[in-house]
């Protein structure tokens, strides 16, 4: 008789409903949706303001951002990301997935997997700035408002992801 293995992850349908409730709560509590790229931008602007204040004063990007944000680290998105990190830690502890390891295919090394993850993260970061938002903000929050642009953005994001997944699949399968 086979033993039923307990899943390490939440049921995706329950997870989807919970994510929808989080978006609803975000709109109700803060008056805006969710997103992550704005928090990264706040951290970068704060770092540049601290390390190279002259550069921040003479660069249009930092100057414009500083003019519209008195303290970039007091942004709703910064607190959201802190909550996401805490929530991820709690989820990992609850489901017993807290491990310091790199998951990858047996066909590639941990080093190669990390290099591809860093490159992908950097490209996604630049893309989120060109697109004026990350997948969370552009797709989830925008689609919850029935924004046609958000639906189109999601189609292109997933379409591009499928293409790149096909091209780079040997690194993960």
pLDDT at position 32 is 85
d(C-alpha 138, C-alpha 143), whole Å: 8
Q: Kindly report whether the global pTM for this prediction surpasses the value 0.75.
A: no
- In the numeric block, which tokens belong to residue 86? 């805490």
Neighbours of 7 (CB within 10 A): 8
d(C-alpha 60, C-alpha 89), whole Å: 37
pLDDT at position 58 is 93
pLDDT at position 115 is 93
Neighbours of 156 (CB within 10 A): 11
Neighbours of 76 (CB within 10 A): 17
pLDDT at position 3 is 55
Q: For the chain, which ranges sit under pLDDT 70?
A: 1-7, 173
> Which H helix or E strand runs over 16?
helix 12-30
pLDDT at position 159 is 92
Neighbours of 1 (CB within 10 A): 3
pLDDT at position 51 is 96
CB 8 within 8 Å of CB 49: no
pLDDT at position 45 is 93
Q: Which residue has the tokens 């329950």?
A: 14
């Amino acid at each position: 008789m086979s033993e039923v293995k307990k899943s390490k992850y939440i049921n995706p349908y329950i997870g989807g409903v919970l994510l929808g409730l989080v978006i609803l709560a975000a709109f109700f509590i803060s008056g805006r949706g969710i997103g992550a790229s704005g928090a990264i931008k706040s951290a970068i602007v704060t770092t540049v303001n601290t390390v190279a204040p002259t550069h921040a004063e003479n660069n249009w990007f930092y100057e414009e951002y500083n003019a519209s944000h008195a303290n970039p680290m007091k942004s709703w998105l910064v607190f959201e990301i802190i909550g996401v990190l805490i929530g991820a830690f709690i989820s990992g502890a609850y489901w017993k997935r807290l491990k310091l390891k790199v998951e990858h295919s047996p066909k590639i090394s941990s080093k190669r997997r990390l290099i591809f993850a860093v490159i992908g993260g950097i490209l996604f970061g630049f893309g989120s700035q060109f697109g004026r938002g990350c997948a969370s903000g552009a797709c989830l929050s925008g689609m919850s408002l029935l924004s046609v642009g958000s639906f189109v953005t999601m189609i292109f994001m997933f379409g591009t992801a499928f293409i790149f997944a096909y091209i780079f699949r040997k690194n993960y399968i």
